[in-house]
Each structure stands twice: as structure tokens, then as C-alpha cells.
Amino acid sequence: DSGPIFDDEPLQKVSNDDHYNVFAIESVHPKQSEPVHDTYPIEQDAQIVVIDSLDMNYDREEIDQNDDDNDRAKERELLASLIEKLKCEIDESKNRNKFLETSNKVLMEKLKGEIEDFKNKNKSLESSKTISKK
């Protein structure tokens, strides 16, 4: 005889509690103690990452702080670069001024020599005129 076996009395009675019955129409669910946070998907390196909204505020502040730090670092680098460039330009200007001062001195000496030659030639011409008038 290979049919089903029915016991006259079940070994254990199963409780029918609506709280745990998934098929119950009105079941009582305990209230969640923690709220469900919004999540926002973002793409990162062709993968989708879900960030919890509470973490986003912290992350946003941290990112803003990092951005500020990066901006300050870039500003410092830029200022250092500009200062270095200005120092080079100042040095070039000093060198150019020294060259111009030296050139000016040389030209002044040359001009003094030319003026002296002119005076001598002028005296010579006047002497020649005086001699030729006699």
C-alpha cells in the first residue's frame, strides 16, 4: 500500500497569528524606529553608486572643504609663480637700467670728446682767419 498516510491526530498544532501570517489582509506591523533615507544614484567610472542622503551632506561638506583647500593651494601656486615672474622682471629691469646707465656714460664721454674737438677746430679756424687777414 503506497498511498498517503493520515494521522488521526496531528503531532503539533500550528498557531495562526496574523502578525506573522503573510496572507493576512490586515496585519499589524511594528513602526520603524529609524526613518528611511532618500538615496541618490550617481555615475562614477561607469558604475552606479548609491549614496545615502545623510552621508551626502557630510560628503558635500567634505568635498566643499577639499575644493576650498585645492583652490587655496592653486592660488598659492599661482601667487608664487607670479612673484617669481615679477622678481625675474625686476632683475631684468635692473640689468637693463645698468646697461643704459653705462651706455649713457660712454656716450657722454664721447660727446665731451667731440665737443672738445669742436672747440679745438673752432680755435684753429679762428687762428687761420686771423693769420689770413694779416
Q: Kindly state the cell numbers that stand for 33.
A: 524606529
Answer whether residue 23 is part of any domain: no
Average pLDDT over residues 47-76: 71
16 lies in some domain = no
Please count the structural domains in the chain: 1
Judge whether 11 lies within some domain: no
3-state SS, residue 46: coil
Q: Which residue segment(s) compose the domain that 57 sits in?
A: 39-133
What proportion of the chain, given as a percentage, has pLDDT over 70?
53
Q: Which three cell numbers stand for residue 52?
A: 545615502
Residue 56 included in any domain = yes
Average pLDDT (20-46) is 55
Residues 63/51, Cβ–Cβ less than 8 Å: no
CA distance 119 to 98: 31
Residue 48 domain-assigned (yes or no): yes
Whole-number CA gyration radius for the chain: 51
Q: What is the pLDDT of residues 105-128, one digit of tens each?
A: 999 999 999 999 999 999 999 888
Is residue 44 domain-resident? yes
